[in-house]
Amino acid sequence: MKKARALGPPPNSVDPDGEFPLGPPEYFFYLLFQAARQRDLFFDRELAPVGLNLAQWRSLAIIRRLESCTMTALARYSTVDRTTLTRAVDQLVSRGLIDRSVPDRDRRQVNLSLTEPGKTIYSQAVNILKEHNQEVLAEVDPKRLREATRALQAVLLKLTGDDDLAVDLLNFGTVPAASRG
């Protein structure tokens, strides 16, 4: 791996404190985008040996998390466009990694669930990803990671413009224990 150049703002920095190349709010979202994009590129590359691309991985991970999910829920949590998502699901169904079923009570609804081979591939892939996450975050203090995570929660809450959507996304489809009746 190449040694990174020293961090510092360029001479044309618009940060009033001169710490960042952009103002802190703009730079925050720029870094967020770059971190997510670089992580996606890494995962797409590293998942190839287990026969998955990023859209397929996200589909497997979300279906596993929700145990059984609809295409609407899958689209909500995956942030993958519907055309790509449908293609990914079709490929996973044809490979026998997920089952697609239609309940008798509502023929318009499609439910997705992992098959046993899907669970196996998921386990192989999640080990690759967890190892990478640990490597990337190894030098980040756990308290700072929690602070950053809470900051991102607050940002997402504001960005959605819809409290119900925000709570759903923040809880990743599960009801917090404190809210269960």
Q: What residues does each domain of the chain span? A: 24-139
Task: Please tell us whether the domain made up of 24-139 is placed in CATH 1.25.40.10.
Answer: no
- pLDDT number for residue 172: 87
* Spatial contact of 98 and 52, defined as CB atoms under 8 Å apart: no
pLDDT 10s digits, 114-172 = 999 999 999 999 999 999 999 999 999 999 999 999 999 999 999 998 888 888 888 88
Q: Report whether pLDDT(33) > 90.
A: yes
Rounded to whole angstroms, the Cα distance separating 172 from 94 reads: 27
Residue 65 backbone class (left: φ over 0; alpha: ψ -120 to 50; beta: rest): alpha
Q: Give me the mean pLDDT over the 18-25 stretch.
A: 86
Answer with the residue of higher pLDDT: 17 or 88: 88
pLDDT 10s digits, 47-92 = 999 999 888 999 999 999 998 888 888 988 988 888 888 999 999 9
Of 33, 11, 32, 6, the C-alpha closest to 21 is: 11
Q: How much is the CA Rg of the chain, to the nearest whole Å? A: 19
Rounded to whole angstroms, the Cα distance separating 2 from 144 reads: 26
Whole-structure pTM value: 0.80
Distances (CA, A) of 31 to 25, 34, 70, 82, 175: 10, 5, 32, 26, 30
Q: What confidence category does residue 180 fall into, taking pLDDT thresholds of 50, 70 and 90?
A: very low
- What is the DSSP code (8-state) at residue 176? -
Name the residue type at position 171: N
Rounded to whole angstroms, the Cα distance separating 70 from 131 reads: 29
Size of the chain in residues:
181
